[in-house]
Amino acid sequence: MTRPTGDDLVEVLAALANPLRLRIVATLAGGRDYVSHLAREIGISRPLLHMHLQRLEAAGLVVGSLELSEDGKAMKYYEVADFDLRLTASTLAEAARTLTDPEKGPGRKERSR
C-alpha cells in the first residue's frame, strides 16, 4: 500500500478521516478481533461498526476473515492490513495525476468492488 492511484488515495484518506474509524484501526493495531467484541470494546452498536469496517476494508486498510469458533459459531475476525502512506505536496501531486476525470471518465462510481 504505497503510491496508490489518485482515486485509491482519496478512498483511503476518506476512510481514515473519521474519529471512529481511526479508533477502530488503532484498536485493531493492538491485535485482531471479531465484530461483536470490538463493538463492545469501542462502545458502539454492532451495525454501526459493521458499516465502518466495510468502509475500511473497501479501502484496503483492514482485512476480515470469517472463521468458525470451537463451539461452532461463525466469527468474523478483522485485522489491520499493511500500509505505509506518505503525504507531502509532491506525493499528492503525483497521485493527483491519476485522478479520473469527472468528464468522460467512468461514471460517478467505479465499477467492481
Partner DNA sequence: TTCATGTGTAAGAACTTTCTGACATGTGAA
Partner DNA sequence: TTCACATGTCAGAAAGTTCTTACACATGAA
Chain contacts with a second copy (rule: CB under 8 A): 6-7, 9-10, 13-14, 16-19, 22-23, 25-26, 28-30, 80, 83-90, 92-93, 95-97, 99, 102
CA-wise closest residue to 77 among 69, 85, 87? 69
Q: Which does 113 bind (CB under 5 to 8 A by kind): a second copy, DNA, none?
A: none
Give the footprint of DNA on residues 10-69 (CB under 7 A). Answer: 14, 18, 20, 34-37, 44-48, 50-52, 55, 64, 66
Q: Are 85 and 2 in contact (CB under 8 A)?
A: yes
The grid coordinates of residue 70 equal 470451537
The grid coordinates of residue 14 equal 476518506
